[in-house]
Amino acid sequence: MNILILGAGRVGTASAIQLASEQDNEVTVVDIDGGRLEKLSSKSDLRVVEGNASHPNVLKSAGAETADMLIAVTSSDEVNMVSCQIASTLFNTQTKIARIRQAEYTKHSELFSEGDIPVDFILSPEELVTNYIAEVIEHPGAFQVVNFADGKIKMVGVKTKKHGFLVGQPISHLHVHLGNEKVRIATVYRDGEMISPKGDTAIKEGDEVYFIAAPGEIDYMITEFNQDQEKARNITIAGGGRVGYKLAAYLEKNNHVKIIEKDPERAKYIAEKLESAIVLKGDSSDDVLLKEENIENSDVFVATTNSEEANLLSAMVAKKMGAKKVMAIANKDSYSGLAETGTIDIAISAERITTSALLSHVRKGDVVTVHKLKRGNAEALEAIAHEHDESSAVGKKVEDIDLPEGSFITAIVSHEGEIKAVHGSTMIDADDHVVVFIDNRDTIGEIETIFA
């Protein structure tokens, strides 16, 4: 596939490196910053073009005439939309994806209807990150929650604690204890290393366990691993930007929400827009302010400013002062490691969340969802099984499907919405939604072929 990526920022760079590493992809990246492009080309086997991404001559020199897909993720919504229009009108590019941040555009869906601005898929990072954080807050004890099959099943990451009922038990004990074969452990990370789960694998304190379950079973399952299941009610948000404001607006319906914003004008604006959330003007890392606001009574403190360093600082201060659970938006892998050491509880990578959503639209066939797990070193992929030839998974038992090493089927949902218990003898039917855990992204193309 010939893929043209506009913008070599974090999302553009991460997507380009991943897609260029996959078989049969030819990737070209356009950016106005030559230094960025030089750095990117030294990391990956791809082509780079320096120039304005919305100029027709730049797009032409980048290969827009033969591109199968254009991904516009520059820092400008307007450049992204204009480049999609040019690619469609002048070069007849078939698939166009654009990152659009401003709600002033995205709230008018008619702008992107047939015959208007030709954007096939819109990426709204703030909405994606807000939904992600809200889902984690909804399930105390979880550090990651992702959806498959339109939310019929979820994969949940949880860190085990000493008093969890299943801690010290072999995985085979899970189904005996629960009496439910449709709950499944996808993988276990121990001391940063992945363990392929087998029946006799014992769960240990401190393990990071990913399990698959229906929505109604998640909270009970979390208590089985760490007993940390008191619902959050008092929530403090650091930063009143797009993510912080959206999150406060969503959570204030059922929770006591405080939001701390440094800029007086922004604080005034969001105070007028929010209904019940309390808006505080100040620095979210100010220990005097946090003490005055009884931060020790906060069930969740989440830092959402545009500065990763400020987010981490305020989260660390809040944790030290007694906030029960602290989260911070921080994209660098080195920052993610702070969660593993206990310095903060959860590091949220907006870049990884956005890249996962983007890759869902890039994958071949009916690969409908891709989620990155564990610092992006593993992925969970949802595909719709189709019958095409003898290599197809349709009509085969799970044990007879030749998946690449390190990959395995962890959940199946029928086209009627029924969750199937996954055994070696479970049959794959046409239009089943199949969730595959992958620990080697180089094998993704092979898996796509099996289910596409």
Task: Write out the chain's pLDDT in tens, 452 residues.
Answer: 899 999 999 899 989 998 888 777 899 999 999 999 999 999 899 999 999 999 999 999 999 999 999 999 999 999 999 999 999 999 999 999 999 999 889 889 899 987 899 999 999 999 999 999 999 999 988 999 999 988 899 999 999 988 888 888 888 877 666 666 678 888 888 888 888 778 888 899 999 999 999 998 898 889 888 876 678 899 999 999 999 999 999 999 999 999 999 999 999 999 999 999 999 999 999 999 999 999 999 999 999 999 999 999 999 999 999 999 999 998 776 666 666 667 888 989 888 888 888 887 876 556 777 788 866 668 888 888 877 666 578 889 999 998 888 888 989 999 888 889 888 899 999 889 999 988 877 777 788 778 76
Q: Would 141-226 and 363-451 be classified into the same CATH topology?
A: yes
Q: How far apart are CA 299 and CA 322, in angstroms?
A: 9
What CATH number has the domain spanning 363-451? 3.30.70.1450
Judge whether 427 and 401 are in contact, CB under 8 Å: no
Q: Where are the domains of the chain?
A: 2-123, 141-226, 234-352, 363-451
Let me know if domain 2-123 sits in CATH 3.40.50.720. yes
Fold of 234-352: Rossmann fold (3.40.50)
Fold of 141-226: Alpha-Beta Plaits (3.30.70)
Judge whether 120 and 95 are in contact, CB under 8 Å: yes
